[in-house]
């Protein structure tokens, strides 16, 4: 059990899952954190845990040992919030619960590695990623910063996924495929060839549907 107070950035489904994980680990969950402009429209407590503004959190962190876990499923927001924390010298929490993390693989600061995930030999997972439940990463694969892999995604060996990508539920990526940055891979897609930057792909085999002009998954 950690003695440092833990805060969770966000109040949605991912944030509630992280709160449940901390609770099961008997960690000290001090609060959910959101931007000040949303406080008026948010409940005072979630799961009996107080909701506070980011400004209040920043002040608290000046005087006590704390960390904050970015608990959002949108890559562009993970990037924005991670950079905001770094700019203020605040500690971003990392969670590693995977069933298997090879000793010669690496996971960046701020990344969440959910239970049931497998990270094989010589993989590199970037900073502030969200690797969901039952994700399998084949050996020698690279996941870029702020990327999100949804539950039950399978990634073959020697795969490269760029920064700010989102891979939907149950998608499969064949070995040695390279996926660019700001790519959205749709639910259940089967990726058999390289994917260029800033596109949305769906289907089996996956094909380009449109440009990812807004750089957002959830609209």
C-alpha–C-alpha distance, residues 16 and 8, integer Å = 9
C-alpha–C-alpha distance, residues 159 and 60, integer Å = 41
Question: Do 66 and 108 fall within a single domain?
Answer: no
Question: Do 108 and 169 fall within a single domain?
Answer: yes
pLDDT at 178: 98
Q: How many of the other CB atoms lie within 10 Å of CB of 175?
A: 13
pLDDT at 167: 98
Residue 216 lies in a domain: no
Question: Do 67 and 99 fall within a single domain?
Answer: no
Residue 134 phi/psi, 5° resolution? 65, 25
Residue 141 lies in a domain: yes
Question: Do 66 and 132 fall within a single domain?
Answer: no
Question: Do 66 and 147 fall within a single domain?
Answer: no
Q: Which residues does 138 contact at the CB level (< 8 Å), separation at least 6?
A: 120, 123, 155, 156, 157, 158, 159, 175
Residue 78 lies in a domain: no
> How many structural domains compose the chain?
2
Place of tokens 């209040």: 56
**Alpha-carbon dihedral sign for residues 153, 154, 156, 158:** positive
Residue 218 lies in a domain: no
Question: Do 199 and 99 fall within a single domain?
Answer: yes
Beta strands across the sheet bearing 199-202 = 95-96, 112-113, 130-131, 148-149, 166-167, 184-185, 199-202, 207-211
Three-class SS of residue 4?
Answer: coil
Question: Do 50 and 100 fall within a single domain?
Answer: no
Residue 28 lies in a domain: yes
Residue 209 lies in a domain: no
Residue 103 lies in a domain: yes
Question: Do 45 and 141 fall within a single domain?
Answer: no
Question: Do 117 and 195 fall within a single domain?
Answer: yes
Question: Do 53 and 104 fall within a single domain?
Answer: no
Question: Do 105 and 189 fall within a single domain?
Answer: yes
CATH of the domain at 111: 2.160.10.10
What CA dihedral angle connects 116, 121, 124 and 127, to 10 degrees?
30
Residue 219 lies in a domain: no
Across the chain, which has 219 residues, the per-10-residue mean pLDDT values are 78 95 88 94 94 91 85 95 91 93 97 96 98 97 98 98 98 98 98 98 97 87
pLDDT at 64: 79
> Which residues form the domain of 39?
5-71
Question: Do 128 and 160 fall within a single domain?
Answer: yes
């Amino acid at each position: 059990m950690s003695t440092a107070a833990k805060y969770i950035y966000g109040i949605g489904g991912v944030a509630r899952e992280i709160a449940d994980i901390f609770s099961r680990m008997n960690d000290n969950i001090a609060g959910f954190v959101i931007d000040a402009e949303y406080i008026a429209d948010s409940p005072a407590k979630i799961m009996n845990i107080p909701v506070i503004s980011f400004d209040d959190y920043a002040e608290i962190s000046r005087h006590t040992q704390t960390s904050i876990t970015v608990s959002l499923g949108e890559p562009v927001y993970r990037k924005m919030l991670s950079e905001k924390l770094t700019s203020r010298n605040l500690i971003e929490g990392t969670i590693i619960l995977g069933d298997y993390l090879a000793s010669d693989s690496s996971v960046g600061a701020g990344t969440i590695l959910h239970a049931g995930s497998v990270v094989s030999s010589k993989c590199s997972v970037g900073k502030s990623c969200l690797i969901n439940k039952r994700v399998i990463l084949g050996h020698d694969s690279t996941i870029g910063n702020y990327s999100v892999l949804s539950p039950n995604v399978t990634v073959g060996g020697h795969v490269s996924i760029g920064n700010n990508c989102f891979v939907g539920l149950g998608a499969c990526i064949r070995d040695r495929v390279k996926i660019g940055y700001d790519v959205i891979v749709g639910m259940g897609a089967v990726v058999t060839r390289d994917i260029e930057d800033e596109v949305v792909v769906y289907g089996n085999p996956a094909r380009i549907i449109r440009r990812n002009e807004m750089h957002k998954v959830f609209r």
